[in-house]
């Protein structure tokens, strides 16, 4: 009996040594999840047409009511609403933005909020490959009231520049990003946060990003080290947006979509997908077989990332040539060819303007 008791005591001691750390870790992660969820909000605004979802995520960066989120079409409305973790719905406005970082800062229209907020200096960190992480977001609009945002467990697969992918991916951010081994970047997830299991803020979950060549998605987050200073300066009213290079400025267009009979969906913000809203009867677009809801993916072999990019590409066409489009129609890719008019709206740079003939009116 004594030997059995001794063995029992030894088993209990060993079991407690093995189980206790896992219980402690589990409790720590649970505490982290609760704390981060209280600082994560749901953002509702523009969208709901042509597969543009009208919701995203944000995280509180000041107790006075400032929220950092992803710069997207969702913010292009005067009816912008932020839903706090406790279910309170508060009107918001865009205080400032840095499109090149896909960052926007919102200001809540309320007083004496005293919200639980991130201390960007004391609670932010860095991580390398292999770090176990948590992703928080309102993906798929799971939460609309006082429900908590969703949580995903994952691992940092790499920390690498997205600039090497700028030709294949539709992204305005070209800096270093956390590449995550978890499906973090879902509809509505943009603006959520990536943290360590201990609750240190690592970065902001980016928008959905797909490789146009392989049709695969990349899950990434913009490091908080890139966002910290712009967020603080926007709140303080001292931030000046980064200037784009001269090559990024729109040239005077020679041709516009309407000259082909194409009416695009409203260009609601920085990167609206190039969906065709209407095709004018009798136009070259109608003759070529273009249809409403077609999504323009390529112009003469070059990737089209948005309505703005499509307009820019059309504006640079040479007169009298052939416009080759690739559109997505349902689940199919459809090639379409259209003739380019012989006379552009405006001449090419360096070319003199065409003067009207003597008998013209």
Mean pLDDT of 20-44: 83
Quick: pLDDT tens for 64-118: 999 999 988 788 788 899 999 999 999 999 999 887 888 999 999 988 788 999 9
Quick: pLDDT tens for 290-308: 999 999 988 887 778 789 8
Residue 129 has pLDDT above 60, yes or no: yes
Domain edges within the chain? 31-236, 250-339
Q: How far is CA 322 from CA 139, 276, 296, 312, 338, in A?
A: 42, 19, 16, 16, 6
CATH fold group of domain 250-339: Pdz3 Domain (2.30.42)
Residue of 298, 31, 330, 276 whose CA lies nearest to 151: 31
Vertex 114, ends 109 and 115: CA angle to 5°?
85
Sign of CA dihedral 265, 267, 270, 274: positive
Quick: pLDDT tens for 171-201: 667 789 999 998 888 889 999 999 999 999 9
How far is 219 from 278, CA to CA, in rounded Å? 34
pTM for this one? 0.65
- Per-residue DSSP letter, 217: B
Quick: pLDDT tens for 321-359: 889 999 989 888 899 999 998 866 544 444 444 443 333
How far is 206 from 190, CA to CA, in rounded Å? 5
Residue of 273, 146, 154, 145 whose CA lies nearest to 205: 154
Quick: pLDDT tens for 150-175: 999 999 999 988 753 433 444 667 78
- Per-residue DSSP letter, 351: P
Mean pLDDT of 121-144: 94
Rg (C-alpha) for the chain, rounded Å, is 26
How far is 92 from 103, CA to CA, in rounded Å? 16
pLDDT band per the 50, 70, 90 thresholds, residue 310: very high
Residue 211 has pLDDT above 80, yes or no: no
Strand positions, DSSP E, the chain: 40-44, 55-62, 66-70, 81-83, 89-98, 103-108, 132-137, 150-161, 176-180, 193-196, 201-205, 220-223, 262-264, 276-279, 295-299, 302-303, 322-329, 332-339
The burial of 19, by beta-carbon neighbours within 10 Å (0-12 exposed, 13-18 middle, 19 or more buried), is given as: exposed
User: Within its chain, how far is the Cα of 247 from the centroid?
Assistant: 23
CATH number of 31-236: 2.40.10.120
- Per-residue DSSP letter, 312: H
Residue 55 tokens, joined: 């919701």
């Amino acid at each position: 009996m004594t030997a059995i008791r001794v063995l029992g005591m030894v088993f209990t001691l060993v079991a407690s040594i093995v189980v206790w750390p896992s219980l402690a870790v589990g409790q720590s992660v649970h505490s982290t999840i609760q704390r981060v969820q209280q600082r994560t909000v749901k953002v509702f605004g523009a969208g709901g047409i042509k597969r543009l979802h009208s919701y995203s995520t944000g995280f509180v960066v000041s107790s006075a009511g400032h929220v950092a989120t992803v710069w997207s079409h969702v913010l292009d409305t005067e009816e912008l609403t932020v839903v706090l973790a406790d279910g309170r719905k508060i009107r918001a406005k865009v205080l400032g933005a840095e499109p090149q970082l896909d960052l926007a800062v919102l200001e809540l229209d309320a007083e004496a909020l005293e919200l639980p907020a991130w201390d960007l200096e004391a609670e932010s960190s860095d991580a390398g490959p292999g770090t176990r992480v948590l992703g928080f977001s309102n993906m798929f609009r799971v939460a609309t009231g006082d429900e908590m945002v969703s949580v995903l467990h994952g691992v940092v697969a790499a920390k690498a520049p997205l600039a090497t992918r700028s030709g294949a991916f539709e992204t305005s951010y070209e800096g270093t990003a956390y590449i995550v081994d978890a499906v973090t970047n879902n509809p509505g997830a943009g603006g959520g946060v990536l943290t360590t299991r201990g609750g240190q803020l690592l970065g902001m979950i980016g928008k959905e990003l797909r490789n146009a060549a392989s049709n695969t998605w990349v899950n990434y987050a913009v490091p908080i080290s890139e966002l910290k200073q712009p967020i603080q300066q926007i709140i303080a009213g001292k931030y000046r947006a980064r200037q784009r290079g001269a090559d990024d400025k729109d040239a005077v267009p020679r041709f516009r979509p309407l000259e082909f009979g194409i009416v695009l969906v409203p260009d609601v913000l920085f990167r609206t997908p190039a969906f065709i809203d209407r095709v004018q009867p009798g136009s070259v677009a109608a003759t070529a077989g273009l249809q409403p809801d077609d999504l323009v993916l390529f112009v003469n072999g070059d990737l089209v990332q948005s309505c703005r990019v499509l307009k820019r590409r059309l504006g640079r066409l040479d007169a009298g040539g052939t416009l080759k489009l690739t559109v997505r129609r349902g689940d199919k890719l459809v090639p379409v060819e259209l003739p380019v008019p012989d006379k552009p709206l405006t001449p090419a740079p360096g070319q003199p303007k065409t003067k009207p003939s003597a008998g013209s009116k």
